[in-house]
Chains A and B, each alone.
Chain A
């Protein structure tokens, strides 16, 4: 892949790391990376080992699998259980536990549930199975919504009558605002999501700086991207500024992808409210299908239980998702809850803070535990 060498240079990383340490000047800076992709990069490349002690990285809610409430999984399974339904979704969704088990459990019980890489693959399944009702469980932030929207337009243009979408697309800005409005919130700045911003641009985050006085830097996903973005955040703090900056200019235009925003707007409309795992119900934080696309809307075509399901008592995903505890501080982390048998959503996707920490962070955990005990 292009850029791998340019953006992973150990020499430049060391230089940036030293400059960050100088800027941090022994102070404490609490920075949230909103996007699960950044969480993954931070653990995978050991970014925290290159930062001074005073910089605390807090993991945000930007993993769409992790914020899916259990009740929505149960709704999706209820659809899959209907006669002649083929349910399709992304691989990560198949393992997310709901109140009555996961998609994989439902598949084992006889439901026809298939993994796809793209909603267009789901469309293909619908074309190849005209006597079945094919439903795509759509999840994701504004990164994935354009793909679903474009697929809906293709389905409509083809006049496909056996294809529907169970829409669970969520919006990043209302979640950030909910975090900023939470009592006791003491964040000093944000790493803004990269690929979401390819679609929505950097401008929608301006409220973070303007209304809450916090700097936000839209960041790329390579190690040097993250380090440079942290450097820029600290620079703003030192200079007493709070602005939105775009570090990831090689793919993020300030205004976003207007054509993608347009197809989202043509097919979807914000819901009044949506329940997020860990964050509760947030107004205007998710997308549903527009009335014009009712014929493709699984929520209109099927009866859904729509129940609110409480998380398992031992699961502390809500505290992980809001940055109150580190993944390994959860009581079941790495013991009852592992990527193979996840109890909570944060352990499912590789973007989930717990799964990322489980995969890459065990050495650090051992060190932290030893340090605490010393």
Chain B
């Protein structure tokens, strides 16, 4: 299922041991919700919560513009740059929006 990583999608990372180590994971204390999606279900994010990356922060976090305000989200799983549009689900970016 996970075969076939596209080039540039998955940067090299340290070999982990014990679990969670080697990722440079930080203590974060202000991770907010993604954009309020109105009547949308936050469990499954039935509407694309697309946000724009404003700034990258330590610990795989990013400050993003949700259209309704600014939030801090985790970008551990997606390689992002300032200005990218990303899809955020339950506080975690899970994909980049192309085009």
* Cross-chain contact B94 with A121 (CB below 8 angstroms): no
User: Is there a chain B Cβ closer than 8 Å to A332's Cβ?
Assistant: no
When the two chains form the complex, which single residue of A124, A198, A254, A350 contacts B39, counting CB atoms closer than 8 Å?
A350
User: Which chain B positions have C-beta within 8 A of A36?
Assistant: 41, 44, 46
When the two chains form the complex, which single residue of B16, B18, B20, B27 contacts A127, counting CB atoms closer than 8 Å?
B27
* Cross-chain contact A153 with B20 (CB below 8 angstroms): yes
User: Is there a chain B Cβ closer than 8 Å to A313's Cβ?
Assistant: no
* A92-B41, A120-B31, A152-B20 known; A201+B46 contact, CB < 8 A: no
- Determine the main DSSP class of A at the interface with B: helix
Measured CB to CB, the closest approach of chain A to B41, in angstroms, equals 4
> How long is the Cα–Cα vector from A243 to B44 in the complex, in angstroms?
26
* Cross-chain contact B47 with A199 (CB below 8 angstroms): no
* Cross-chain contact B78 with A257 (CB below 8 angstroms): yes
Smallest Cβ-Cβ distance to B86: which chain A residue: A251
User: Is there a chain B Cβ closer than 8 Å to A215's Cβ?
Assistant: no
Give chain A's interface residue range (CB within 8 Å of chain B): 35 or more
* Cross-chain contact B32 with A117 (CB below 8 angstroms): yes
User: Is there a chain A Cβ closer than 8 Å to B97's Cβ?
Assistant: yes
Q: Which of B26, B31, B48, B89 has the most CB of A within 10 A?
A: B48
Q: How many residues from B make CB contacts under 8 Å with A?
A: 52
User: Is there a chain A Cβ closer than 8 Å to B55's Cβ?
Assistant: no
Measured CB to CB, the closest approach of chain A to B38, in angstroms, equals 9
* Cross-chain contact B1 with A203 (CB below 8 angstroms): yes
User: Which chain A positions have C-beta within 8 A of B33?
Assistant: 117-118, 121
When the two chains form the complex, which single residue of B6, B23, B30, B92 contacts A157, counting CB atoms closer than 8 Å?
B23
Q: Which of A38, A203, A251 has the most CB of B within 10 A?
A: A251
User: Is there a chain A Cβ closer than 8 Å to B83's Cβ?
Assistant: no
**Chain B binder among A141-149, A304-312, A318-326:** A141-149
* Cross-chain contact A90 with B89 (CB below 8 angstroms): no
**Chain B binder among A17-25, A258-266, A363-371:** A258-266
A-to-B contact residues, CB < 8 Å = 1-3, 35-38, 40-41, 62-65, 90-93, 117-121, 123-124, 127, 139-141, 143-144, 146-147, 150, 152-158, 194-195, 198-201, 203-204, 220-221, 249-263, 265-267, 292-293, 349-351, 359
* Top 7 closest pairs, chain A to chain B, by CB: A118-B91, A37-B46, A156-B20, A117-B33, A157-B20, A157-B25, A147-B92
